[in-house]
Structure 1
């Protein structure tokens, strides 16, 4: 029997923190940026997607981006949902989806799946819920994100305590996502990344904003960080990752992924050995202008 995936995240704590962030109207600039990107990506696809689901996105930004005169508002399903939202909504765990097979035409997800323990299993459930030629389009926080914070905390805790524990969530590497989509049965998988830098007055200001957003440490193996180590980490952060004006940098990577439920109308790769010309001959012909 296949072993279940390790349970890295405290999902109950995550739900409480996301609910509190929604109640307090926490900063939403990251999800707003992603929603603008989602709108651009969908504008190139001339499909109505009548049965659409916004899965896991903690705010209504993605649902608003999906709603057009030709596309009705999607159903919303997430671990935590804001109290002011209207329409069909479900509180669900992304690892245990309640949707029937082939019941959806489009599934989108914004900055939520990075906290899923069983990502291959979640992808497989999404694939099952999509009708043939249905689209899955999502974004997640990627592996390079907050590497400055991770490094400063590890160095400070090792220096003061003689060892360090993980304090920033592990994020998925973009290079792994394509194979995970294929493994789940998606056709035509595509991944790309939006990488950018934020700036803060200090590491402590960055940490305060992460907590406001409900994006603090939710690892099951978390333990309190001594104040002395926290202050030392802020010093290391400022020494290694500050600009001439004294403000510090924080790298964010938003990884985008998409895949289609297989359908006979989709483009398929040629069978090995079916090419009518060798690659070497094609390159030579192109150079000679033939």
Structure 2
């Protein structure tokens, strides 16, 4: 019998990061409104009404308010116990949700799939939670993000230790959605460029967005000399205005719980489908 693999991410660090949202100003996380706007826009493509919605993550009060205004019966799950208590969410991690099968018509996951220990298991759970013809719609920070930071932490004089999360690419998530039983999976990427004056401005944004390291075990802290070397390497090649372009690649994904009335997908690789068409409900 094979032994379970060691976790990549620390649940305790995950909870601490999530609870930090409860202490920060509402506008501290610049990514949250961008992701929320995308999810709302894509939901607007769907003409059907979702009576029961599950939201994974209680950090975006504006998104919660929008969903409640639609009249859907909203259930929220949240890994951070303090944030869950402050928002009335169920305190549970995304890959451990234990709710009745087929109890939701819509599941929204605005960030976090990239830091789940058991990604296939989490998606299997969500597939089971959806009623037939229910929709999963989500976003995460994916492969190719933070290229300048990744190069800077490998500069000479810095210990060669894993400090940044592994990243999930488009092909992997698309194949995985199909493997775990989602119909009509669609995955696409939005490249977001942000300009920074220095490393420390980027780190502040990463902390506010809950994107700092959750690796388990935690890597040893950087020394002052290593921080200085990384900071110098990060601003190398800055533009004339002394700013650096950093990139966040937002991977948007969707999939439907199978239903007999849905169109059947074409042979793999034989065609492409637009997101607008994929989000349309059955006739």
TM-score range, shorter chain: 0.7 to 0.9
The answer on whether the counterparts of 2:52 and 2:73 sit within 8 Å (CA) in structure 1 is no
Q: CA RMSD in A?
A: 2.0
Q: Distance in 2 between matches of 1:271 and 1:35?
A: 33
Q: Distance in 2 between matches of 1:234 and 1:271?
A: 49
Alignment of 1:1-290 (within 5 A): 4-25=4-25, 27-56=28-57, 58-69=59-70, 71-72=71-72, 74-80=74-80, 81=83, 85=87, 89-155=89-155, 159-161=156-158, 163-221=159-217, 222-240=219-237, 242-269=238-265
After TM superposition, what 4+ stretches of structure 1 lie above 4 angstroms from structure 2? none
> TM-score, normalised on structure 2?
0.86
The answer on whether the counterparts of 2:29 and 2:208 sit within 8 Å (CA) in structure 1 is no
Contiguous gaps of at least 5 residues in structure 2: 269-283
Q: Distance in 2 between matches of 1:251 and 1:99?
A: 36
Shift, 1:270, TM fit: 5.6
| Residues 270 and 179 of structure 1, relative CA distance in 2, 3 Å threshold | closer
Shift, 1:271, TM fit: 7.5
Larger radius of gyration: 1
Shift, 1:30, TM fit: 0.5
Q: Distance in 2 between matches of 1:35 and 1:47?
A: 19
- Bigger relative CO (Cα 8 Å, ≥ 6 apart): 2
Shift, 1:93, TM fit: 1.0
| 3-state secondary structure, aligned to 1:4 | coil
